[in-house]
Amino acid sequence: MKLASTFNRTSSILRSREALTDEQIRHVAPSVFADTAHDSRFEPDSTVKADKLLTTRRHADNGPDMWRTLNRVQENVIRGGIGYVQTTEKSGTSFRRTREVKGIDQTVGINRALWVLAEEMAKIKNA
């Protein structure tokens, strides 16, 4: 699975407990989570920015903990609607939005991968 291999590359940041304090891990984990989810959903040359996956849609999802981060990223990946700018020679610059994931297989796969990612990050943090 693409998400698992991406996570293996990025998790080394969180595994270095000597280099990062718990407070630093709390601040690094959401961006690592968003980067990994972004790499699994979008092409490498995509103009969709990973930090857009951390955008809060509901006040209740605002916060740095892993559960809220998981909720934000999952909703933004599945529901789509993340704005980005696309530039092409033919049409120039245009504002676009990501599409919603509608396939059940894709939705289940993304949710399962995000859940496994969250569990692995929790293990690293609690190690």
The encoded tokens of residue 19 equal 């280099």
Domain segments of the chain as ranges: 2-126
The pLDDT assigned to 13 comes to 46
One-letter amino acid at 117 equals L
The pLDDT assigned to 102 comes to 92
Residue-wise pLDDT tens digits, 86-99: 888 888 888 889 89
DSSP strand pairing (83-88 vs 92-97): antiparallel
Residue-wise pLDDT tens digits, 10-68: 555 445 544 456 666 677 778 888 888 888 888 877 888 888 999 999 998 888 788 88
Contact 110, 74 (CB under 8 A): yes
One-letter amino acid at 127 equals A
Task: Give the DSSP letter string of the chain.
Answer: -HHHHHHHHHTHHHH-TTTS-HHHHHHHHHHHHHHHHHHHHS-TT-SS-GGGGG--SSGGG-SSSHHHHHHHHHHHHHH---EEEEEETTTEEEEEEPPPP--HHHHHHHHHHHHHHHHHHHHHHH-
pTM over 0.85: no
The pLDDT assigned to 72 comes to 92
More confident residue, 127 or 120: 120
The pLDDT assigned to 46 comes to 83
The encoded tokens of residue 68 equal 């809220």
The pLDDT assigned to 17 comes to 44
Q: What are phi and psi of 87, to 5 degrees?
A: -120, 125
Contact 53, 34 (CB under 8 A): yes
The pLDDT assigned to 79 comes to 92
Is the model's pLDDT at 104 over the cut of 90?
Answer: yes
The pLDDT assigned to 65 comes to 80
